Structure 1
């Protein structure tokens, strides 16, 4: 898989061009998460954040805290890309 293929999903994201709004604090996170609802590439976005241990912002509808909790609960998963998107992820 090439770098271009990996990044292709970002071109289809509902949040494209809204980067600053996706890194809110506190109550504003709920508003940012709403952008993710119904997004065609939500799974790819979440997999990207989980596989790369991205610790800031809202990704795939999950906050930093929610992603950390999921990673702690599911230490058995090596590739979130594989689990969430059905791709090999290697």
Structure 2
């Protein structure tokens, strides 16, 4: 692998991992914010509490899952970037 390609992959893996961590660790605030905006879009801003909790947990889980996928992709890319030049992939 060429030196400039490996540098680009290293930068991309760091960005992916950082974005994934941000999404995972701030998923609660993102989920609550989207849950509140969903609640305000309901008629008169009123909804059943269990339904609101389900919507909020669903948004939070979506951010955790997408952050985990991005973090894992960044980690895998970093490992391949580090090990391929050594082993000659």
- State if a TM-score over 0.5 links the two structures: no
TM-score, length-normalised on structure 2?
Answer: 0.26
TM-score, length-normalised on structure 1?
Answer: 0.26
Q: Which has the higher contact order (CA 8 A, sep 6+)?
A: 2
Structure ID, larger Rg: 2
